Amino acid sequence: MLYSCTAIEGLAQKYYEKGGEVVEIIPGTLGFGLTVMHGEGLKTAVVTEIPITTQSSGHKVRLYNKMPDKYKKMLHDYYEMEVFA
């Protein structure tokens, strides 16, 4: 199932309201690219932008009880880039 930008914005807002964090690791062209949402006591949501046409895209959302190591490493690398920027 693909979700719209509006649906993803709503999900991000819920993470913010619950003290979570939303990190866009790879910027999207029309939407959210590769975005990881996580927080204490929250599931990890990984949002991936899926191109549909040259003018539209949707988003796939995958929820994890525990953040996979792959995304932990991506977040670690992202934060290190932020420190040195």
Going through the chain in order, the beta strands assigned E by DSSP cover 21-26, 34-38, 44-53, 56-64
Which pLDDT score, from 0 to 100, does residue 72 have? 96
Domain with 59 in it:
5-84
Which pLDDT score, from 0 to 100, does residue 79 have? 86
> Token match 């191109």: residue?
51
Which pLDDT score, from 0 to 100, does residue 83 have? 65
Strands 56-64 and 21-26: what pairing? unpaired
In the chain, the number of structural domains is: 1
- DSSP 8-state code for residue 78: H
Mean pLDDT by 10 residues, the chain (85 residues): 96 98 94 96 97 94 97 92 68
| Distance set, CA 3 to CA 10, 30, 75 (Å) | 11, 13, 23
